[in-house]
Amino acid sequence: MDFKRSDFPEGFLFSAATSSYQIEGHGFGGAGQTHWDTFAATPGNVVRAEHGQLACDHYHRFEEDLDLARDMGLDAYRFSTSWARVMPEGRGPVNAEGLDFYDRLVDAMLERGLKPQATLYHWELPVALADMGGWRNPDISHWFADFATVVMERIGDRVFSVAPINEPWCVGWLSHFEGHHAPGLRDIRATAHAMHHVLTSHGRAIQAMRALGVKNLGAVCNFEYAAPADTTPAAAKAAQLYDGIYNRFFLGGIFNGAYPDDVMEGLAPHMPSGWENDFELIGQPLDWVGLNYYTRKLIGANEGPWPGYDYVDGPLPKTQMGWEIYPDGLHHFLTWVDQTYTKGLPLYVTENGMSNADLIGRDDVERIDYLNQHIAAAQRAIGDGVPLAGYTFWSLLDNYEWSLGYEKRFGLVHVDFETLERRPKASYHALARALGR
């Protein structure tokens, strides 16, 4: 790597992330069915109809996986807790085995000197809640706060940090407007409701955790740099709207007590009643904000109904996902979020990494290069005064890449999905050398 640990401020945290449904294996330990199980079982939604019943079998192999995280020289490990594992029906009875699993997982991190960075929800909604409308139902904020309470009463004394919901844009827009993720809806009313309820749920969970005395509470949002596909005013407006929906909606709700005007031009007629009165709940004070960043998108205008934009193929080098590699976007978002919203709160890069094809025996140079470029962008942001406190690599392991199944490989560690053998890649070894103490 082009950097070493000592290039970063004292106490800067390096970590790697995973999420429950993507690695654990939801066929084990009394976990309830999730909407990803039913989404994946519906033909056409997921490549080869792959699902998370076994995944990386982390449920049984977590000790080995945490050894890998420790041996890489990481300071922390970002993980998530599955709602359906802890509360199989989403409400009411707790699955003791599921809660025990997270208890043991947190202790196993601490034994290895890894700070536990928890996320409560990384997309595996219990089907019983999906049956009641899932994120469209205003009651979900109460169900979610109850889940947060159950989990944090057990592990809240030992986690380093907690974020309620990973990537609100994916939960709201990608899943209810574009239909690419469970529940696979393409409906503007469902989208408006889900985007708002993700934030009321975030706020109510923060309230519940503060009441329990849990420390270091934040929010994790994803960001994509939106560039106009051509020089027309229409393309500039389309890119601006894309930016509003993706990058300004959620932080606007949390930090400004308002949603962006350009986004509300389309969503206002479809919002749940009384939404204007929820900003006090949504805007609970936070201790930090996490940014997940991977790519930029070129956006062109179309003549269709709102939002009237299209994705346009871009000219930059791309990852296995077909995502353009654009490290300047990370520098842009770190400085912009600090100046516009968080104003001095600690920021973390909570996800960054690339998928690279499974070519055993290759040296993984593309991933090393990708990480070098993005880490350099983060260093520039620190030099510009951004209070960046940590950097998390996505992902520790190759895993279930949602509707793209198991073939997109984001891991620093290769997983053979036949044998489940783990093999550290060249990028893992390069990072271990850079992080060595």
Active centre residues (catalytic): 167, 351
User: What is the x/- site pattern for ligand IFM, positions 166-195, by CB under 6 A?
Assistant: -x----------------------------
- Report the residue number, 8 or 177, with the smaller CB distance to ligand IFM: 177
User: What is the x/- site pattern for ligand IFM, positions 351-370, by CB under 6 A?
Assistant: x-------------------
Distances (CA, A) of 143 to 29, 72, 151, 342: 22, 37, 13, 28
User: What is the x/- site pattern for ligand IFM, positions 312-351, by CB under 6 A?
Assistant: ---------------------------------------x
Smallest distance from ligand IFM to CB 9, Å: 26
* Contact call for residue 82 and ligand IFM (CB under 6 A): no
Q: How many residues sit close enough to ligand IFM to count as binding (CB under 6 A)?
A: 8
- Report the residue number, 181 or 193, with the smaller CB distance to ligand IFM: 181
Smallest distance from ligand IFM to CB 298, Å: 19
Residue 203: enclosing H or E segment and its boundaries?
helix 188-212
User: Is 217 buried (19+), middle (13-18) or exposed (0-12) by CB count in 10 A?
Assistant: buried
Smallest distance from ligand IFM to CB 322, Å: 12
- Report the residue number, 24 or 401, with the smaller CB distance to ligand IFM: 401
* Contact call for residue 24 and ligand IFM (CB under 6 A): no
Distances (CA, A) of 426 to 157, 363, 408: 36, 5, 17
Please give the sequence-ordered ranges of beta strands (E in DSSP) within 322-434, or none if there are none.
347-351, 388-394, 413-415, 422-424
Residue 288 makes CB contacts below 8 A (sequence gap 6+) with: 161, 216, 218, 345, 346, 347, 348, 389
Smallest distance from ligand IFM to CB 372, Å: 19
- Report the residue number, 84 or 208, with the smaller CB distance to ligand IFM: 84
- Residue 241 carries which side chain, given as an amino acid letter? L
Rounded distance, CA 294 to CA 296, Å? 7
* Contact call for residue 394 and ligand IFM (CB under 6 A): yes
Smallest distance from ligand IFM to CB 239, Å: 21
User: What is the x/- site pattern for ligand IFM, positions 121-160, by CB under 6 A?
Assistant: ----------------------------------------
Smallest distance from ligand IFM to CB 19, Å: 5
The percent of the chain in helix, strand and coil, each rounded to the nearest 5, is: 45, 15, 40
Q: Which residues of 187-204 are buried (b: 16+ CB within 10 A; e: fewer)?
A: ebebbbbbbbbbbbbbbb
Residue 189 makes CB contacts below 8 A (sequence gap 6+) with: 270
Taking alpha carbons only, the member of 170, 261, 186, 182 closest to residue 223 is: 170
* Contact call for residue 19 and ligand IFM (CB under 6 A): yes
- Report the residue number, 83 or 410, with the smaller CB distance to ligand IFM: 410
Cα of first residue to Cα of last residue in the chain, in angstroms, is 15
DSSP string, 121-146: ESS--BHHHHHTTGGGSTTHHHHHHH
Q: Hey, what are 214's tokens?
A: 């849990």
Question: Site residues for ligand IFM, window 278-307 (CB under 6 A)?
Answer: 292
Smallest distance from ligand IFM to CB 268, Å: 29
- By CB under 6 A, name the one of 52, 295, 401, 415 that touches ligand IFM: 401
List interacting residues with ligand IFM (CB under 6 A): 19, 22, 167, 292, 351, 394, 401, 410
